[in-house]
Amino acid sequence: MELQGRRALVCGASKGIGRATAVALAAEGATVFALARSVDKLATLARETGAVPVVADLQDPEALDDAIGALLEAGPLHILVNNTGGPPGGPLLEAGLDAFRVAFERHVLAAHRLAQLTVPGMAAAGYGRIVNVVSTSVREPIPNLGVSNTTRGAMAGWAKTLSSELPPGVTVNNVLPGFTDTDRLVGLREGIAARTGGTPEGVLAAWLGQVPEGRLIRPEETAAAVVFLCSPAAGAIRGVSLPVDGGRMRSI
């Protein structure tokens, strides 16, 4: 993948897809800066991969500016992976306004600010990759994930708009995870089971019945797609949304 010498910022790197992405980028030779709120989990990741911990909250713009500004003093960040935990589930009409505010701050506003901070250095270096870990809901909204569906759609629109504004050599793309074996999925199926009177096992079985691959996707598989989009080999790919969902989506 020829990522030696590249500096990568991975958000939400303490667990799940973010952690798997940090591990995969480090394995390909990139210098990884792992951003999350969990000091302990980042310390473990650092010991295992050599990633540099960046403790920050995506909802705190000032702290984010300070943290990223310090990294940029040492040189450009060539890779930005926007990733963070999804909003809680539930019917759309039951969601309060604060739920939307928090989701937009963590996803759209944080991604936009990080792009503003990092793209100038990418442009000067002639190489930049922004990859957003979003959701298949940007094409097919998922029941009982109203706030998430709304926010993910906004992220996809933001990325597509940005893709036509970035200079040559700098790209932005989305990866759309399907049903992935993460802590978030466990929480979602438990919440659905509680609301519907079913069981988490029944919810999982119903989900897998929609997936031709017949299983949950591993975080490492999604991370592999992210790494490819970060590589020189993906230089002609810009503004796309790539599903990693085992074939669940029915849309073209």
Neighbours of 232 (CB within 10 A): 12
Whole-prediction pTM value? 0.94
Q: Please, where in the chain does CATH 3.40.50.720 lie?
A: 7-178+218-244
Q: Which two tokens stand for residue 90?
A: 């539930």
pLDDT given for residue 151 in this prediction: 97
pLDDT tens, 53-103?
999 999 999 999 999 999 999 999 999 999 998 888 889 999 999 999 999
Question: Which carries the bigger pLDDT value, residue 147 or residue 2?
Answer: 147
pLDDT given for residue 88 in this prediction: 86
Has residue 231 got a pLDDT over 90? yes
**What b/e readout covers 216-229, taking b as 16+ CB neighbours within 10 angstroms?**
bbebebbbebbbbb
pLDDT bucket at 187, cuts 50 / 70 / 90: confident
Helix (H) or strand (E) holding 177: strand 170-177
pLDDT tens, 162-173?
999 999 999 999
Q: Which two tokens stand for residue 36?
A: 């999350």
pLDDT bucket at 194, cuts 50 / 70 / 90: confident
Residue with tokens 């790919």: 237
Mean pLDDT of 113-122: 98
Q: Name the percent of the chain lying above pLDDT 90.
A: 88
Rounded CA-CA distance 166/150 in Å is 25
Write down the architecture of domain 7-178+218-244 according to CATH.
3-Layer(aba) Sandwich (3.40)
Burial class (CB in 10 A: 0-12, 13-18, 19+), 140: middle
pLDDT tens, 10-37?
999 999 999 999 999 999 999 999 999 9
